[in-house]
Structure 1
Amino acid sequence: MRDTGPTTASGMRAWAVTAMLVALMVINFADKAVLGLAATPIRKEFGLTAGEYGAIASAFYLLFSLSAVIVGFVSNRVSATWIMAALAVLWSLTALPVLLAASVPALYASRIALGAAEGPTAPMAVHAVQKWFPERSRSVPTALINMGGALGLAIAAPTLVYFIGNHGWRSAFAVLAVAGLVWVVLWAFIGREGPLDTYDAGLHGAVGRDARAEPHVSYRRLFLNGTWLGTLTAGIGAYWALALSVAWLPTYLEDSLGYTAAEAGRLVVVPNVAGAAVLLTVPWITGRWMRSGATGRIARGVTGGLLVIAAGACMFALPFAGGGVAVLLMTLSFGLPIAVFPLNYLIGAQVVPVRRRGSVMATSTALVTLAGVVAPAVTGRIIDAAPSATAGFELAFTLCAGLLIVGGLIGLLTVNPEREARSFGLTS
């Protein structure tokens, strides 16, 4: 997959920074996944119902969105390099309550603090890497950042299941804390701020005097336009599916489909490997498509909307399938919609001035991830109220499917980055 990028000495630094941020996203999503992978022993040890466990899983998102917004606005004045280091240190320390005094309150405290530390990570990582790559070549690095999340789940699942099964569920939390601190040490030597700090520089790859000053665009206009609202609704549907899979997919495989914990740990890798492939190939294909003359509306808006709608259709069918067909539908249901995340970040880069990009991307991420506050807890309550776990999952998947289809349809109809860029005076 050939994609032109920085060609000077800064090129090696650009890709080194990208590799580090991908590694950070791997750890980030492994931290998200560990509670779901350890759900069965945690519920048994503390006697938790499905609803009580779902509430703990949802607690991760209580400060996630607020933290993302605050740090996003801080990034208008503080370098993304320093922000990434601080976030990684903070979330590594959040394992301490669980390791020192494991209890239900400690789990709540740990997950809430972890969510606060991880909330800004994805938009800040994208913001950081997009300062190294101009528009013509940022599709792949942006996709790689998002692919790190899917890889985190794919790599973490068998690894963490091994530690949970052989050394107890607390050991998985300790491993992730150490991994985060090791990353911080390496980042101190590798992390640097990118040179493309204006919209025109990012558009054409020019730096310094060749880049014209950015026009002033109010936050009201940046947040109240069809493109931003379309990416928001499509993203909410996709994130509901992501939060559902992280918190409940292992339990669904065990309780409804009859797999063992080890088999479930291996099977949850499948949609995440598929998701990683989708995260990389879809932005790359759409980037090539746009360099051949396609608009962002078609290449990114319509493509993202159709993928989210297709995932919703598969989700509707999932509860009625079994065996290999169920695994295939599960893979498509949870693997397809996450392609909308890098596409939304790329659309944001098309329509937002650089000096406000961090805050706008972080706010968008904050609103999208509010679905993570609701999805695990609502799913737990649905399962508790249903006559059986299987019936509960059927209702939960139907709800998720509806959100995917509606969100994807709205995104498909409203996203038009070229229109917004012209109206903001960013392009002619």
Structure 2
Amino acid sequence: MAAPHVVGPADAHDTGTNPPRTARAWAVTAMVVALMVINFADKAVLGLAAAPIRKEFGLSASEYGAIASSFYLLFSLSAVVVGFLSNRVRTTWILAGLAVLWSLTALPVLLAASVPALYASRIALGAAEGPTAPMAVHAVHKWFPEHARSVPTALVNMGGAVGLAVATPTLVYFITHHGWRSAFVVLAAAGLVWFAAWAFIGREGPLDTYGAGLRGTAHGEARAEPHVSYRRLFLNGTWLGTLAVGIGAYWALALSVAWLPTYLEGALGYSAAEAGNLLIVPHVVSAAVLLAVPWLSGRWMRRGASGRLARGVAGGAVAIAAGLCMLALPHADGGLAVLLMTLAFGLPSAVFPLNFLLGAQVLPVRRRGSVLATSTALVTLAGIAAPAVTGLILDAAGSPDAGFQGAFGVCAALLLAGGALAALTVDPEREARRFGLTS
């Protein structure tokens, strides 16, 4: 792999008032977005292949839900471990290693398809993908200063929604015409192709301290960062608020990936092909929301709004709106049900880039990777519970309609509570002052 970029004398002109924003920065961003596309396609493949997999192995809803949840068994742990590793190892190398690892996780399914092989493949894939999102954002933030991060951060997170939108019809085609195993082959090959391209394009960004790139900050001054204990970084209102709203949003994401195809087919009566087409809609809305909300929040802040209002309150309001749509969803049918489903599962995605931007506002760079990864690890614990809890609710219910009503009610409660807490407690400017990062 090409050597990562290191700040040296040639970068002396990259001061706080003229930060590095080159073609390389956008090339790295584009590659990271592509990585997130593959990342979320990997997450979605099991849900898209749920019907043939359950039929082949005779799985109940609970048994399938347990396999889907196993993806998150090591997801959080690996995110924390790699996050702390990123304090010492370049994110360029970390992302390359993760891409190779998750491509190799398809081998158990391809060599000997069985229920244990499915468990092994999903657990290994989760371990390889757990650190990807925080490491991707951390890598991009090393290329863009605070006032210019909204769009690249949104693009990185939008890669997930694009991945689901692109992967859904593509993988459904392969599953339908070539068997469900073919979808795993396609995704493994995509990861290896990405790795080959990253070897030529990937570089480490030069903005390696909190003050680097801040408007009006001298280059030398930007090199100094205060020491802030992990206890203070974790135990404050902003971090706790983003954690709460993130859990609700991720529960919705995990629920949609594992069970939305089943909901459309079992509860609303669509065919597999029709369900595959309908699933594109919330993913497209999610992609639009992922780009628009952070961009609007950044523009709002450049006009004088606080991060508390433009990111904390805005993120909480989006989660609350999604929760209300989720509550209404089981009581609708036809076009209204599709509209409510689109909003309920499309809107929460905006929470993720806003949370990453809030983290960058209050975290020293030397500890940003580890804290973002730990936050992601805790948020994604919802991914362990959501598919399995939903399977249990469905098995216990008298009908698919009743089961999904209960499952959507649980998700709605988490979105409403998390959104309210975020709106009340998130205040990045307060935390940055308390940590000595700003005056």
- Fold agreement, TM-score > 0.5: yes
Map 1:194-213 → 2, pairs under 5 A: 194-204=205-215, 208-213=219-224
Question: TM-score w.r.t. structure 1 length?
Answer: 0.97
Q: Does the Cα contact within 8 Å between 1:81 and 1:192 map onto a contact in 2?
A: yes
Greater shift in the superposed pair: 7-16 or 401-410 = 7-16
Alpha-carbon distance between aligned partners in 1 of 2:207 and 2:171, rounded to the nearest angstrom: 38
- 1:341 aligns with one of 352, 356, 368: 352
Query: Match for residue 294 of structure 1?
Result: 305
Query: Match for residue 111 of structure 2?
Result: 100
| 1:236 has 2:247 as partner | yes
Query: Match for residue 55 of structure 2?
Result: 44
- 2:132 aligns with one of 118, 121, 129: 121
Secondary structure in 2 matching 1:308: helix
Map 1:22-421 → 2, pairs under 5 A: 22-204=33-215, 208-421=219-432
Paired amino acid for 2:114: S
Change (3 A) 1:130 1:207: farther
Query: Which stretches in structure 1 are left out of the alignment for 5+ residues?
Result: none
Q: Does the Cα contact within 8 Å between 2:19 and 2:213 map onto a contact in 1?
A: no
Cα deviation, 1:276-322, whole Å, max 9, x if unaligned, reads 00000000000000000000000000000000000000000000000
Alpha-carbon distance between aligned partners in 2 of 1:202 and 1:427, rounded to the nearest angstrom: 14
Q: What root-mean-square deviation, in Å, do the aligned CA atoms of Structure 1 and Structure 2 show?
A: 1.3
Alpha-carbon distance between aligned partners in 1 of 2:53 and 2:17, rounded to the nearest angstrom: 47
Identity %: 79
Alpha-carbon distance between aligned partners in 2 of 1:400 and 1:203, rounded to the nearest angstrom: 39
Secondary structure in 2 matching 1:200: coil
Alpha-carbon distance between aligned partners in 2 of 1:204 and 1:354, rounded to the nearest angstrom: 17
Paired amino acid for 2:151: V
Query: Match for residue 5 of structure 2?
Result: none
Query: Which stretches in structure 2 are left out of the alignment for 5+ residues?
Result: 1-15
Cα deviation, 1:18-58, whole Å, max 9, x if unaligned, reads 00000000000000000000000000000000000000000
Q: Does the Cα contact within 8 Å between 1:312 and 1:405 map onto a contact in 2?
A: yes
How far is 1:212 from its partner?
3.8
Change (3 A) 1:319 1:274: same
Alpha-carbon distance between aligned partners in 1 of 2:216 and 2:176, rounded to the nearest angstrom: 50
Q: Does the Cα contact within 8 Å between 1:307 and 1:339 map onto a contact in 2?
A: yes
Change (3 A) 1:371 1:114: same
Secondary structure in 2 matching 1:193: coil
Paired amino acid for 1:252: Y
How far is 1:7 from its partner?
7.6
Greater shift in the superposed pair: 284-293 or 210-219 = 210-219
Q: Does the Cα contact within 8 Å between 2:18 and 2:213 map onto a contact in 1?
A: no
Q: Does the Cα contact within 8 Å between 2:108 and 2:118 map onto a contact in 1?
A: yes
Cα deviation, 1:198-239, whole Å, max 9, x if unaligned, reads 000043386852524000000000000000000000000000
How far is 1:338 from its partner?
1.1
Paired amino acid for 2:225: E
Paired amino acid for 2:420: L
Question: TM-score w.r.t. structure 2 length?
Answer: 0.95
* Superposed structure 1 runs of 4+ greater than 4 Å apart: 5-10, 205-208
Q: Does the Cα contact within 8 Å between 2:312 and 2:422 map onto a contact in 1?
A: yes
Query: Match for residue 6 of structure 2?
Result: none
